[in-house]
Structure 1
Amino acid sequence: MKLNRRETFGLTGSAAALLLPSAAPAAPPPAAAPQWRRGFDNQRIADLGDGRFLNPIMAGDRPDPAILKDGKDYYLTFSSFDSYPGLVIWHSRDLVNWRPIGPALTRNIGSVWAVSLEKHDGRYFLYIPVKANPNTTYVIHADRIEGPWSDPIDLHLPNHIDPCHAVAEDGSRWLFLSGGDRIRLSADGLSTVGKVEHVYDPWHYPEEWDVESFSPEGPKIVRHGGYYYQITAVGGTAGPPTGHMVIAARSRSLHGPWENCPANPIVRTKDQSERWWSRGHASLVEGPAGDWWAVYHGFENGYWTLGRQTLLDPIEWTADGWFRMTGGDLSQPLAKPRGGEAVPHGMALSDPFETLALGTHWSFFRPAPDEASRASAKGGTLTLKARGTAPVDSSPLMLIAGDTAYRMECEIDIDPGTTAGLVLFYDDKLYCGLGFDGARFVTHQYGMDRGRPANPYGRRLTMRITNDRHIVSFHLSGDGGRTWKRFDRGMEVSGYHHNVRGGFLMLRPGLYAAGQGAARFRNFRFTAL
């Protein structure tokens, strides 16, 4: 799978250098890629406004999508890992345009992996696997999708991930789990009955394929045309771009036996020149007009740093009762689902700080139980009490940015003894950014505090970070942004991602306050470039 210059989708500089052999011959530039429409803060949006859309439908780190059709409404949530408040619920009427409702999970119970979002007997359920000590699966429930959601209930399932709720033809409730296993649920869905049982042996790919691991996970169950279909991910979630894939099996009964699809895999990135890598964790959903679609995630070519983004692929049911996905490599616009009404997509990432939108906008990294008490917003000012010594232990406030290039800037003033600034944060071991106290700057790079040059601005300044396709620069202003001076340190961050560090996260823009006292942030402005 040789990668040439035509296959880098317009990457330049250091980003392209990571993908190209040093001796690669010169080649004509690639054809212009289709262009997204632009929404809040110039962020890219999928709906092209002409009856077509261009993936991703949810840009940025939106992995393991769990989707629920509820009448004319669709609800979607994603693995939120170490970010809290987490499990933000999104709403749509057309599967392409989505708006946030709010977070379902506010208490830190561990790193949240692929969940199951369901409605049964008029009640909403979220089954939540977490990586903690020990690993387990929780359930929360609500009578309204907007909440309030219940406190988490531990189901004591230590050796499995990626639950999927399903109801059998006899009315019994089950959780299907990774590895082809399942366990029965009580009638109310809030506890398990009996032991885990093995019910399905997933299809296995040829041994010569480049994958990360077998790892059958992310089962999703849907009933259609007299069959139960079980859609599973194999090949590993990251690793080689060609590893992650979607396979299918079916059965007349939820109790089996399960028959593997003769056309497996249903979806797989076949070559690293494709626009979307590592495509998997698919769910099937009926569209507003009765057509069918698959929702799954993938990495954007060259941008592991953005995490796994949510993709929409049209489904065609075949004469033999199986299905296939018809969107190809998803690099080109597709016809939108028929019917349905569009809601305004996304949200502004710029923040005037009139109120503090925790969950929908900002989230903490691995927060302590009292973390939310550190932050308050009123009258145009976010006040963030200092904690820890640096981004490594200060639980930064972060947001999800879905564009390959963007700029953020903010006015910051600090108390004596406080260090504060802006960061691009993968996790507590891998981040970069710039902070300052009353006397010196502190540069953050590779998850470490690097240089400490003198700070001529004192305890109040305006800071700007630009991430232009992995090339990071900093600018500073002492007069509220009227004039700017470039800070003498640049960075390249294409390696700040899962295949370097692990953890399944993304490089997220954010802000932090460490040391003593507090920092005040005003006029946070985000612009996609």
Structure 2
Amino acid sequence: MACALFVSCHGLKSNDADSTRPAEGQPVFSNFEYSGNDKIYDENPLTGGEFYSPILQGCYPDPSITRKGDDYYLVNSSFVMFPGVPIFHSKDLVNWKQIGHVLDRESQLKVGTAGISEGIYAPDIMYNPYNDTFYMITTQIASGIGNMVVKTKDPQKGNWTDPIKLNFGGIDPALFFDDDGKAYVVHNDAPDEGKELYQGHRVIKIWEYDVEKDQIIAGTSKIIVDGGVDITKKPIWIEAPHVYKKNGKYYLMCAEGGTGGNHSEVVFSSTNPMGPYVPAKTNPILSQRHLDKSRPNPVEWAGHADLVQTPEGEWYGVFLAVRPNEKKRVNTGRETFILPVDWSDEWPVFEGGMEPLKPSIHMPKGAKNEMNTGAYFENGNFTFIDKFEGKGLDLRWIALRGPRDKFVVEGKAGLIIKPFEVSIREQKPISALFYRQQHMVFTTEVEMNYTPRSESDLAGITCLQSEAFNYVFGVTKSGNDYYLVLERTEKGSAQVVAKEKLTESGKIRLRVHAEGDNYQFSYASIDSDYKNIGGTVSGDILSTDIAGGFTGSMIGLYSTSANDVKLLH
């Protein structure tokens, strides 16, 4: 059992009062426990020299990786999650620890009215040895910022700069620093006006980049890929480009096929960073789209990759993929996987990347698997416990659209979530703290001490895919009575699935248990057994393929003073 790694969260204020009964309308949460128990890990125990992939389970998509010395750094897309762009550190590509978020200030992240799948897309992290600086370049959607870059000298200390807006369109930018000191930006964009041939037709552009001014050099743009590997086959969504240099040649690696069932990774080469680029005859070099959909334990949607070389000369690639449940639905979202890459010949090849992906792979030279010792970010089957004892929020807890310290107060009695007058269905900052769903089979329990003041008050737990698709399981008031209610929101419309009158307000235990598509919500007093309400409900609305968008399901601790689902007396 691995307990929470408590890392201080700047700005959170401690509440020294150890009240056993909080103020009305302000829930106090304590003793949170998340336990994952997927069958695939029981059936595939690790042997010596192996580690599990995905390395980051749950909604950690669009990975990008870089290295300085023997320090590896990895970032992911975060959309409207606040703080944004989680950043992880490793010494060996096996054991990962979250060290913070790149975008942790309101001056960096302006997503207050964005939909859940807007915000931060496809961050790219790159170390420039010529000025000993780390760069994170990304696209911030729905903020007016667009493509942007931030910098730091030391990712472990954070202190990333405010965004520098970049003067080009499109999405998925990535930096490349050549060994002559020159810099370039590659990105996805639309074809030139009037030249779009079909829906999904995109291009890859490259610009020269001025490191001193942190800006593209006007007039240097060039289209280096039009459509994809073979435009006669109408490939869609060529994106997520990265440039690498090996043995004097330049290699451009991109995702192709869209971030769904047709996803793949392809590669091109050139003798000049500005092209022309020639596709490999071995393309794609990573995909699961051609495999039997009825195979056991399928991993799908593999693509959007980035490569890194170890100090010993080995190559590895991180990429996103999904693990569908028994109904082929995707509730855990797009996760970060890793594979060794064979680059002994001209072209890089993901080892096993065109075969059914296995749950474990061999470790790099010299690595020792310590992921589930409590010192690192756990994977496989594990239990995460957070007692909320006022020691600082674990970095895995995130808010949506705004800072956590606007509504979270830590105290000795637990975590107070001050309610906003905002519903979970609104595209505004909400008073809820989220933990990503990381398994198909999981149980989450939390204790809550809460007395609602009126029908407008509600607090409890939520399973959320977006503002338009979610479950809320919480305590509210109707007349003079207290009720526990289960609400289902689909396409923005909320309905009461079940309700139960409570004899009193105050302390209660809440639990959600999922087995694939089947979710159950239960409650108990502190000393009694759990009682289910609402029976078994479908997790369909928590899946990407039903709800749409790019995020995975999250489990939230939620409080509101704008509850708009009224109960009949």
- Give TM-score, length-normalised by structure 2: 0.76
Report deviation, 1:502: 2.3
Q: For residues 492 and 224 of structure 1, what CA distance do their matches in structure 2 show? A: 49
1:292 aligns with 2:328: no
1:271-291 deviation line (CA, Å, top 9, x unaligned)? 223521111011111135321
Match of 2:256 in 1: 234
Match of 2:166 in 1: 155
The 1:443–1:396 alpha-carbon spacing in structure 2 relative to 1, beyond 3 Å, is: same
Report deviation, 1:358: 5.2
Match of 1:391 in 2: 424
State how 1:83-102 maps to structure 2 within 5 Å.
Answer: 83-102=81-100
Match of 1:312 in 2: 338
The 1:160–1:75 alpha-carbon spacing in structure 2 relative to 1, beyond 3 Å, is: same
Compare 341-350 and 416-425 and name the one that shifted more. Answer: 341-350
Q: Which of 395, 403, 410 is the matching residue for 1:377? A: 410
Secondary structure of the equivalent of 2:511?
A: strand
State how 1:508-523 maps to structure 2 within 5 Å.
Answer: 508-515=554-561
Is the 8 Å Cα contact of residues 52 and 336 (structure 1) preserved in structure 2?
Answer: yes
1:423 aligns with 2:462: yes
The 1:414–1:247 alpha-carbon spacing in structure 2 relative to 1, beyond 3 Å, is: same
The 1:498–1:483 alpha-carbon spacing in structure 2 relative to 1, beyond 3 Å, is: closer
1:354 aligns with 2:354: no
State how 1:78-117 maps to structure 2 within 5 Å.
Answer: 78-106=76-104, 107=106, 108-110=109-111, 111-117=119-125
1:426-454 deviation line (CA, Å, top 9, x unaligned)? 11000013111242223221342425542
Task: Give, as a single letter, the amino acid of the residue that structure 2 aligns with 1:323.
Answer: P
Report deviation, 1:205: 5.8
Task: Give, as a single letter, the amino acid of the residue that structure 1 aligns with 2:211.
Answer: A
Report deviation, 1:215: 0.6
Q: For residues 464 and 285 of structure 1, what CA distance do their matches in structure 2 show? A: 41
1:273 aligns with 2:274: no
The 1:229–1:92 alpha-carbon spacing in structure 2 relative to 1, beyond 3 Å, is: same
Match of 1:184 in 2: 208
Q: State percent identity of aligned pairs.
A: 23
Q: For residues 528 and 312 of structure 2, what CA distance do their matches in structure 1 show? A: 52
Q: For residues 395 and 47 of structure 1, what CA distance do their matches in structure 2 show? A: 39
Match of 2:199 in 1: none
Task: Give, as a single letter, the amino acid of the residue that structure 2 aligns with 1:505.
Answer: T
Match of 2:22 in 1: none
Compare 342-351 and 191-200 and name the one that shifted more. Answer: 342-351
Gaps of 5+ in 1: 1-38, 518-529
RMSD: 2.7
Q: For residues 440 and 245 of structure 1, what CA distance do their matches in structure 2 show? A: 49
Task: Give, as a single letter, the amino acid of the residue that structure 2 aligns with 1:249.
Answer: F
- Give TM-score, length-normalised by structure 1: 0.82
Q: Which of 423, 426, 442 is the matching residue for 1:406? A: 442
Report deviation, 1:458: 2.0
Match of 1:22 in 2: none
Q: For residues 62 and 378 of structure 1, what CA distance do their matches in structure 2 show? A: 30
Is the 8 Å Cα contact of residues 462 and 481 (structure 1) preserved in structure 2?
Answer: no
1:76 aligns with 2:74: yes
Compare 384-393 and 171-180 and name the one that shifted more. Answer: 384-393
Task: Give, as a single letter, the amino acid of the residue that structure 2 aligns with 1:166.
Answer: F
Match of 2:224 in 1: 199
Task: Give, as a single letter, the amino acid of the residue that structure 1 aligns with 2:121.
Answer: W
Task: Give, as a single letter, the amino acid of the residue that structure 2 aligns with 1:337.
Answer: P
Is the 8 Å Cα contact of residues 289 and 339 (structure 1) preserved in structure 2?
Answer: no
Q: Which of 117, 120, 123 is the matching residue for 2:133? A: 123
Report deviation, 1:224: 1.6
Secondary structure of the equivalent of 1:194?
A: coil
Q: For residues 231 and 455 of structure 1, what CA distance do their matches in structure 2 show? A: 58
The 1:462–1:278 alpha-carbon spacing in structure 2 relative to 1, beyond 3 Å, is: same
Report deviation, 1:292: 1.3
Report deviation, 1:477: 1.3
1:325 aligns with 2:358: no
Q: For residues 207 and 54 of structure 1, what CA distance do their matches in structure 2 show? A: 39
Match of 2:488 in 1: 445
Q: For residues 505 and 152 of structure 1, what CA distance do their matches in structure 2 show? A: 23
Q: For residues 198 and 459 of structure 1, what CA distance do their matches in structure 2 show? A: 62
Secondary structure of the equivalent of 2:545?
A: helix
1:475 aligns with 2:522: yes
Task: Give, as a single letter, the amino acid of the residue that structure 2 aligns with 1:331.
Answer: K
Match of 1:246 in 2: 265
Compare 112-121 and 442-451 and name the one that shifted more. Answer: 442-451
Task: Give, as a single letter, the amino acid of the residue that structure 2 aligns with 1:425.
Answer: L
Name which structure has the greater RCO, CA cutoff 8 Å, separation 6+. Answer: 2
Task: Give, as a single letter, the amino acid of the residue that structure 1 aligns with 2:285.
Answer: I
Q: Which of 484, 487, 501 is the matching residue for 1:454? A: 501
Is the 8 Å Cα contact of residues 90 and 101 (structure 1) preserved in structure 2?
Answer: yes
Q: For residues 222 and 61 of structure 2, what CA distance do their matches in structure 1 show? A: 27
Task: Give, as a single letter, the amino acid of the residue that structure 1 aligns with 2:165.
Answer: D
Report deviation, 1:331: 2.0
Match of 1:500 in 2: 546
The 1:132–1:516 alpha-carbon spacing in structure 2 relative to 1, beyond 3 Å, is: closer
Match of 1:55 in 2: 53
1:399-444 deviation line (CA, Å, top 9, x unaligned)? 1231111111111122424310111111100001311124222322
What is the number of residues matched between the two proteins? 468
Match of 2:114 in 1: none
Q: For residues 160 and 331 of structure 1, what CA distance do their matches in structure 2 show? A: 35
Report deviation, 1:301: 3.2
Q: For residues 227 and 96 of structure 2, what CA distance do their matches in structure 1 show? A: 33
The 1:245–1:205 alpha-carbon spacing in structure 2 relative to 1, beyond 3 Å, is: farther
Match of 1:28 in 2: none
The 1:135–1:299 alpha-carbon spacing in structure 2 relative to 1, beyond 3 Å, is: farther
Q: For residues 96 and 459 of structure 1, what CA distance do their matches in structure 2 show? A: 44
Task: Give, as a single letter, the amino acid of the residue that structure 1 aligns with 2:312.
Answer: A
Q: For residues 481 and 231 of structure 1, what CA distance do their matches in structure 2 show? A: 57
1:232-251 deviation line (CA, Å, top 9, x unaligned)? 0010112xx2x000000011
Q: For residues 316 and 156 of structure 1, what CA distance do their matches in structure 2 show? A: 37
The 1:56–1:207 alpha-carbon spacing in structure 2 relative to 1, beyond 3 Å, is: farther
Q: For residues 474 and 82 of structure 1, what CA distance do their matches in structure 2 show? A: 27
Q: For residues 284 and 499 of structure 2, what CA distance do their matches in structure 1 show? A: 53
Task: Give, as a single letter, the amino acid of the residue that structure 1 aligns with 2:110.
Answer: I
Q: For residues 213 and 179 of structure 2, what CA distance do their matches in structure 1 show? A: 16
Q: For residues 248 and 45 of structure 2, what CA distance do their matches in structure 1 show? A: 34
Q: For residues 141 and 445 of structure 1, what CA distance do their matches in structure 2 show? A: 42
Is the 8 Å Cα contact of residues 417 and 431 (structure 2) preserved in structure 1?
Answer: no
